[in-house]
A and B are shown apart, each in its own frame.
Chain A
Amino acid sequence: QQQVKQSPQSLIVQKGGIPIINCAYENTAFDYFPWYQQFPGKGPALLIAIRPDVSEKKEGRFTISFNKSAKQFSLHIMDSQPGDSATYFCAASSGSNYQLIWGAGTKLIIKP
């Protein structure tokens, strides 16, 4: 019930392509869905987040798509660049619990 399932585990995309990372959840009480980006040797950092009252949110080249009925959300990276190579984590939280429930992470490599 508390899990967030993330796929794929790893992803290789050519520069300019659109990598898509997917996450699914079961707990309908979740009301906050962030994506974190982690570079080697660094801690994760918030990239973009969405609440379930909207179906899509864009910040620069990064877009979250949210499907409340399917209990799924995904991260799209437009015009991907080698500098986007990192590990991406989805997460979820509910207002009653300040913990983030984390996905397993996706290692993304953007080839030049």
Chain B
Amino acid sequence: DAGVIQSPRHEVTEMGQEVTLRCKPISGHDYLFWYRQTMMRGLELLIYFNNNVPIDDSGMPEDRFSAKMPNASFSTLKIQPSEPRDSAVYFCASRGQGISGYEQFFGPGTRLTVL
């Protein structure tokens, strides 16, 4: 298995632009999580999905952030308009049932820089 796939790996954009981050979870996993990591705030859960349905989006910082999961193999996190304080590494993680239990498998992350 290729693991969780995220794209792009790096994104540099200017303030006010729309940013879309993409994630492909591990096949068969039914939970998908979006995290943001910064030096100041550590690892923050933004939103998570179960069977493509958003369950808890209380971590989404503002209405500028939105996430979708149109099917079991694809999710997006969109920031519109982007601001410099959104600069961070964004991780997608997935987990399934069975032997792996509660383990979350993380993607390599997208490093976002908003100028």
A residues whose Cβ falls under 8 Å from a Cβ of B: 32, 34, 41-46, 49, 89, 93, 98-100, 102, 104-105
Contact = CB atoms under 8 A, between A and B. Distances in A.
B36 to A, nearest CB: 12
Helix, strand, loop or mixed for chain A's interface? strand
Given A43-B93, A43-B106, A43-B109, A98 B43 contact: no
20 contacts: A32-B102, A34-B103, A41-B108, A42-B108, A43-B91, A43-B107, A44-B43, A44-B91, A45-B106, A46-B103, A46-B105, A49-B101, A49-B102, A49-B103, A98-B31, A98-B48, A98-B50, A98-B95, A99-B48, A102-B45
B43 A105 contact: yes
Q: Chain A CB within 10 Å — which of B45, B48, B102, B106 has the most?
A: B102
Interface of B: 4, 31, 42-43, 45, 48, 50, 56, 91, 93, 95, 101-109
Given A43-B106, A44-B106, A99 B45 contact: yes
B62 to A, nearest CB: 20
